[in-house]
Structure formats: C-alpha cells, structure tokens
C-alpha cells in the first residue's frame, strides 16, 4: 500500500464524544475553529452540555461540544445526522439557552456572553448550493441603507467592535454539498468530515494532529468494538429516518393525487380521464365518487 495514501479515520463526532474533551487534544479543535472563524482560537475549557453526557439513552444522530475560548466566547459545535425541518429554530433556541444559562442574576446586559454556533450537517437543510453558510445579525437603514455601528463608548463597554459581534453567529456546514476537492485549508477539514480521510499534504491547523489521534489502528479492541457499535447505530438511525421521510413523502403524494381526483370528479370529468391524469385505479376513483356524493 502506498504509505502516502489517505487512510480511514474515526469520525469527528466520535472524536467529540471520546477524544476532544481532553486538553491534550485541544490543538485539534483549535485548528478547526481557527480555520473556520479566520482567527487564531485558543480553547480554555470544554463545558458540560446535555449531549456530552454518556448514557444508554444517548442519541446517535447528534453530538455536541460547548467550548470556551480565551476571549470568553462560547462556541457550540454540533454534528447532526438527523433530518429536522425545524433545525433553524432549534439552533436559535440553543444559542438563546446558552446565553441565559451563563447570565448571572443581577448581571448587566453588557456582560452577556457571545455565542457562536457551528453546525456540521449530514443532511440537506434548506435550499442552497453552497457548503458553508454564515449567519450574523446586522441592522440596515431603511432609507439610507447604511449599517448601524457601535459608537466608541459602546465598543469599550461591550468589548466588541461591531454589532454583529454582540449577537450570536451561526455557521452551517452542509457536508454533502462539498465536492471533495480541497482548495483551501478549511476545505481540508470538510474533506475529512465527509471522507474520514486526511491527506499527507493537508496543511490546515491541527489537521495532522487529528490524523495521528483519530487513527483506527491506534484504538484498543474494546474502543474499536464500541466505535463499530456506534457506527452501526448511526446507520440504523439514518435508515429509520430516511424510511420515515420517504413514507411521509409517498403519503403526501398520494394525498395530493386524491385531492386532484376529487376536484376532477366535482367538475364532472369522466373516470377514464381521471384515471389517466392521476394514475389511480378505476376502483379507487369509484370509491372517491361514492365518498363525495
């Protein structure tokens, strides 16, 4: 085997559950976050969150970490496999909850923590062709179309240089939209998320340390068995979700077809024509005719 060829590694979500909470591996998380946020990130600690807790009831389709950096900002990193149509509302709730959890009674609003939500998604969310989306809050003038900025006193009070730095920010990484061609150092991380491989020539911060730390070959037999069970559970979860989605879609299509058929019946269209338009059987159309009389 070519020694320079990529090799399979454990997935990033498993690393988040088992490896990245250790201080010796902060360099890996710091590397990924530095490449994503475009600035050097130093992690002070990993804070507890619901999904960090190991239990028999752990959901396999979502793993998250809550990180505190040296600027006293809180960064939520989440890996999500499940298809959720209210996901955008859920991440809004998540950032709001983190803000309130870290706001002590009697604290002024100026001391409110800055939260950054990083979401690594293995399902299609919304309609868009890009693979990285960034959301931040800004205020634009209705008449002059200028952007509202903090004045000098507010910058000193908040310790921020812009309004967008006061409010939560969101990053959505749609892994399945990535074409697996890494043209930037951030792409190298996303290549790993999608392919579980890190090439020798990748130069992103922390990524070669990840290659060493996430190697399957370095796992004990017990760890490997646990990892394989986790992957099996992920596949079962994914199959369950996809099956339910397809069933719901089919049921929705069937309901739409029946609705069209009923409208045609009301218009007095002949059964043979309704049959040709909707694909329903003559017997099904006859039943609909009886039900609408």
pLDDT of residue 222: 79
pTM of the entire structure? Answer: 0.73
CB 94 within 8 A of CB 117: yes
Q: What does the pLDDT average to over 245-271?
A: 70
pLDDT digits (tens, 9 = 90+) for 4-42: 444 578 888 888 888 888 898 999 999 999 999 999 999
Which single residue is written with the structure tokens 């809180």?
A: 74
Which residues, 6 or more positions from 222, have their beta carbon under 8 angstroms from its beta carbon?
none
pLDDT of residue 253: 66
Domain chopping of the chain, boundaries: 12-218, 227-292
pLDDT of residue 235: 64
For residue 189, pLDDT over 70 is answered with yes
| pLDDT bracket for residue 56 (50, 70, 90) | very low
Q: What is the DSSP letter of 140?
A: B
Short-list 274, 280, 277, CA closest to 255: 280
Q: Distance between CA 147 and CA 139 in Å, rounded?
A: 6
Half-sphere exposure (CA, 13 Å, Cβ side) for 2? Answer: 6
% of the chain residues with pLDDT over 90: 40
pLDDT of residue 252: 56
Could you give the angle at the alpha carbon of 142 between the alpha carbons of 139 and 145, nearest 5°? 70
How deeply is 88 buried, as exposed, middle or buried, from its count of CB atoms within 10 A (0-12, 13-18, 19+)? middle
For residue 1, pLDDT over 60 is answered with no
For residue 50, pLDDT over 60 is answered with no
pLDDT digits (tens, 9 = 90+) for 198-218: 999 999 999 999 998 888 766
- Pairing mode, if any, of strands 169-174 and 132-135? antiparallel
pLDDT of residue 49: 64
CB 116 within 8 A of CB 64: no
């Amino acid at each position: 085997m070519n020694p320079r060829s990529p090799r399979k590694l454990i997935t990033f979500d498993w690393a988040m559950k088992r490896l990245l909470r250790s201080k010796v591996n902060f360099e890996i998380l710091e590397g990924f976050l530095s490449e994503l946020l475009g600035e050097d990130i130093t992690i002070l600690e990993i804070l507890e969150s619901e999904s960090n807790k190991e239990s028999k009831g752990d959901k396999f389709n979502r793993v998250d970490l809550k990180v505190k950096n040296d600027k006293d900002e809180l960064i939520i990193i989440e890996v999500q496999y499940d298809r959720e149509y209210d996901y955008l509302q859920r991440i809004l709730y998540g950032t709001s909850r983190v803000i309130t959890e870290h706001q002590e009674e009697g604290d002024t609003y100026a001391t409110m923590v800055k939260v950054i939500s990083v979401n690594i998604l293995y399902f299609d969310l919304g309609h868009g062709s890009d693979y990285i989306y960034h959301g931040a809050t800004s205020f634009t003038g209705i008449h002059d179309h200028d952007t509202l900025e903090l004045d000098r006193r507010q910058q000193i009070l908040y310790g921020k240089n812009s309004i967008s730095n006061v409010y939560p920010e969101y990053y959505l990484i749609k892994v399945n939209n990535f074409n697996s061609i890494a043209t930037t150092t951030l792409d190298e991380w996303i290549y790993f998320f999608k392919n579980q491989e890190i090439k020798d020539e990748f130069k992103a911060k922390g990524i070669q340390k990840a290659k060493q730390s996430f190697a399957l070959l370095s796992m004990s037999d017990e760890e490997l068995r646990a990892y394989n069970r986790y992957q099996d559970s992920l596949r079962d979860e994914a199959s369950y979700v996809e099956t339910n989605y397809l069933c719901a879609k089919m049921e929705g299509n069937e309901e739409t077809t029946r609705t069209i058929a009923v409208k045609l019946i009301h218009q007095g269209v002949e059964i043979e024509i309704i049959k040709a338009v909707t694909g329903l059987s003559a017997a099904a159309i006859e039943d609909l005719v009886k039900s609408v009389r």
